[in-house]
């Protein structure tokens, strides 16, 4: 099977916004499964960074989770259909993140189809929330082409509008300018702008995820440190595990933050040497990091979200805190650290 590429089309509204915009949920109906029950289910990441199937979720009844390996015992269906679906589910479960940008690469590499290319796009609501992040990336393009910054520009679509929906002579002049800068023809400009907008939409999305994680991390580390003031401070094994969790999370966060700083520097370099080759190099660089950045942010997010759900007031007895750290925060953290260390170079 060959993966459907994610072309820029209007986003359909038949997928839940949470599933479209999440790092850790994958609506299974976007992939070609045979079992009807699974087409209504989701694959989710747990705080231990394991992938499980969520058959249902209800505020009163909770959620129905099953391990993928238990699927043949749980669902009564044709063995061939179950086997065919397992061939898809197992590779999906091994993915480190279910965000749309990582999935575009991962599903293509796995040769897994998606129902529609629009299934791998963020919701319009999320794109709206990324407006402020996008401005820092659209501003250089608008400034270089039009001569003045335009903070109202939020997406590649609006940039295309600026080129095509103004005075024809002005439009042609600006299109010739960017074509000359990039070393491309005028007819290639819309495709370039689409690609430019999408790559920076991905960076904006990941950066927003990181910005949501950092304050939770700071609160969690303070919460965890309070154990040292209790009777459990003499539990050497627990103290060592707390240090492992604290140091591991710090290491991963510092490293991924450094990657974003490197992307900013490479973007600056691109605008100092504006050619199609330099843009392609920048595009390759950023897309090569999608899966590791998505995976790291997904792991951090599910762990810290689990903490907030179980301890909404950041309270909890010393023993409950210890159990959570040992049972949910520590498991899988070494995998997260290895994933971050496996990230490609940030040099173009």
pLDDT at 1: 38
Retrieve residue 274's tokens.
């504006």
- Dist. CA 303–CA 248, nearest whole Å: 13
Name 48's Cβ contacts closer than 8 Å, sequence gap at least 6.
328, 331, 332
Phi and psi at residue 58, in whole multiples of 5°? -140, 140
Q: Say if CB 162 and CB 142 are below 8 A apart.
A: yes
CA gyration radius for the chain? 23
pLDDT at 10: 44
pLDDT at 150: 58
- Dist. CA 260–CA 266, nearest whole Å: 10
pLDDT at 343: 96
Retrieve residue 29's tokens.
């109906």
Query: Average pLDDT for consecutive 10-residue bins of the chain (348 residues)?
Result: 38 77 96 91 95 83 83 88 95 97 95 91 91 81 65 59 61 78 85 86 96 97 96 96 97 96 89 85 94 97 96 96 97 96 90
pLDDT at 166: 54
pLDDT at 186: 84
- Dist. CA 322–CA 93, nearest whole Å: 28
Say what the pTM is. 0.88
pLDDT at 19: 92
The alpha carbon torsion through 125, 126, 132, 133 (nearest 10 deg) reads: -160
């Amino acid at each position: 099977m060959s993966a459907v590429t994610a072309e820029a089309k209007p986003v359909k509204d038949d997928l839940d916004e949470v599933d479209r915009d999440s790092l850790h949920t994958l609506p299974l109906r976007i992939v070609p499964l045979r079992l009807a029950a699974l087409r209504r289910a989701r694959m989710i990441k747990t705080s231990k960074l394991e992938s499980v199937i969520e058959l249902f979720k209800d505020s009163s009844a909770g959620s129905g989770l099953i391990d993928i390996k238990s699927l043949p015992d749980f669902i009564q269906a044709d063995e061939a259909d179950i086997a065919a679906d397992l061939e898809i589910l197992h590779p999906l479960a091994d993915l480190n993140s279910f965000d749309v940008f990582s999935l575009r690469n991962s599903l293509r590499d796995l040769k897994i189809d998606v129902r529609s290319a629009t299934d791998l796009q963020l919701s319009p609501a999320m794109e709206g929330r990324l407006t402020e992040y996008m401005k820092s990336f659209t501003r250089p393009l608008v400034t270089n082409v039009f001569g003045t910054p335009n903070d109202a520009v939020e997406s590649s679509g609006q940039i295309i509008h600026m080129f095509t929906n103004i005075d024809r002579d002005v439009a042609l002049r600006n299109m010739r300018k960017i074509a000359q800068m990039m070393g491309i023809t005028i007819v290639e400009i819309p495709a370039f702008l689409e690609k430019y907008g999408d790559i920076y939409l991905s960076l904006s999305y990941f950066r927003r995820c990181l910005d949501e994680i950092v304050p939770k991390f700071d609160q969690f580390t303070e919460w965890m440190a309070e154990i040292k003031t209790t009777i459990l401070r003499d539990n050497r094994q627990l103290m060592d595990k707390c240090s492992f969790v604290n140091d591991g999370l710090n290491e991963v966060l510092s490293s991924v933050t450094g990657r974003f700083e490197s992307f900013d520097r490479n973007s600056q370099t691109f605008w100092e040497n504006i050619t199609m080759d330099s843009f392609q190099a920048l595009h390759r660089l950023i897309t090569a990091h999608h899966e590791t950045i998505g995976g790291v942010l997904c792991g951090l997010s599910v762990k810290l979200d689990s903490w907030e759900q179980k301890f909404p007031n950041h309270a909890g007895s010393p023993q409950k805190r210890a159990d959570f750290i040992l049972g949910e925060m520590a498991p899988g953290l070494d995998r997260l650290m290895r994933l971050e260390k496996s990230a490609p170079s940030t040099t173009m």
